[in-house]
Amino acid sequence: MKALRAEVDVLTLTATPIPRTLGMALEGLRDLSVIATAPQRRLSIKTFVRNEGNSVIGEAVMRELKRGGQVYYLHNEVETIENRRQALVELLPEARIAVAHGQMPERQLEQVMRDFVAQRHNLLLCSTIIETGIDVPSANTIIISRADKFGLAQLHQLRGRVGRSHHQAYAYLMVPDTQGLTKQAALRLQAIQDMEELGSGFYLAMHDLEIRGAGEVLGENQSGNMLEIGFQLYNDMLGEAVRSLRAGQEPDLLSPLGATTEVNLHAPALLPDAYCGDVHVRLNLYKRLASADKPEAIDALLEEITDRFGRLPTQGQTLFDTHRLRVLARPYGVQKIDAGPKLMSVTFNAQAPIDARRIVELVQKNKAIKLAGNHKLRIEREISAPADRAHYLRDLLRSLGQPSKENA
């Protein structure tokens, strides 16, 4: 379609986007909207993972039939579907069983589905052909045989065939042995069992993205080499490249995450155990601080931490001073800041986007500041408090004027 008319806009509606599509949306390559409001009186589908056995199947089917409902039994092997029908006839003599799969003649398949919708049959033994969107409000139990062989998005789509009315619906994911599942199959089944509330399709897709990977953005493979570097780092690198291209610049493939400013205030910069006891919470806060790229983000995080844990101790204040200095210094092309109590140094990279005349004026006006090589400023000044050193360096950088955006 795009090849025929390049200006055509394409709107995609999906219950669970595939990882590559979702990954592109999260990186800003595609626009994304989430519709999370369920229809009125709609109930979430209760989902169970069970070992396949006659007792579970019999109980699930009979409970649905006794309340006047209908059942999907999904068996995705056409070669053995007739054998499964015979087994179900023996197990459930009360059920009126019909068979539907993609290898049936078109007219016959249509008639079977018309009969099922008209409730002439109350159990439909079928393949995955039902996932294409047939709406049968009276069918509110689905039993999926060998659920470990299906993908996460497909399981969610199949589960969505039931619960189309205000009745409570049930989904049974049947596996040969819950203890003998592969790691990925266990993760998929656990995810879909946990995410049974309404509007969970987007979150399931996020799980799918983490399990399978984001794929090759410009290639044909659905699961690229992302695992070599990790999901988060891949996203950061891709996001940086997208921002560069949108700004009309060539992405730096040798330094995909740009220059990282190293800041050392020669003082403890951390959140102490006594202040925030949970190590996982602390690691999460450190990660968010390190990812912050604007002063507003650091201010918002400081407000959140103070609200949750109280006033920051001295080490916490130093931590925030370090990150404020990092955020301010990066646009100036600063590689490293080393700020001791008596001696400080600021190292710029070779393409620092600042006017050299400003540096010369700064050195001429202030005897404490000297040039140490082509890219380094040396400051001989005694400042004992880490917060005061950080404040002094922020003022020094601002005195160099605004960095040139063309070279930033």
Show the domains of the chain with their CATH numbers: 46-198 (3.40.50.300), 262-398 (3.90.1150.50)
- pLDDT, residue 407, reads 41
Mean pLDDT of 249-258: 70
Q: Does the pLDDT of residue 214 top 80, yes or no?
A: no
Q: Does the pLDDT of residue 329 top 80, yes or no?
A: yes
25-34 long-range CB contacts below 8 Å, 24 or more apart? 26/235, 27/217, 27/235, 27/238, 27/239, 27/242, 28/239, 28/242, 28/246, 29/217, 29/242, 34/202
Mean pLDDT of 157-162: 90
Confidence of residue 216 (pLDDT cuts 50, 70, 90): low
Q: Rounded to whole angstroms, what are the CA distances from 41 to 156, 165, 167?
A: 20, 8, 9
User: How far is 330 from 334, CA to CA, in rounded Å?
Assistant: 6
User: How far is 281 from 120, CA to CA, in rounded Å?
Assistant: 57
**Which has the closest alpha carbon to 122: 152, 101, 92, 148?**
92
Please tell me which residue, 407 or 131, carries the higher pLDDT value: 131
Structural tokens at position 235: 């996203």
Please tell me which residue, 280 or 107, carries the higher pLDDT value: 107
- pLDDT, residue 408, reads 42
Which residues, at least 6 apart from 207, have a Cβ–Cβ distance to it below 8 Å?
A: 152, 187, 188, 191, 195
Confidence of residue 11 (pLDDT cuts 50, 70, 90): confident
Mean pLDDT of 225-236: 65
Q: Does the pLDDT of residue 406 top 50, yes or no?
A: no
Q: What is the pLDDT of residues 358-391, one digit of tens each?
A: 888 889 889 899 988 888 999 999 999 999 999 9
Confidence of residue 239 (pLDDT cuts 50, 70, 90): confident
Mean pLDDT of 118-134: 90
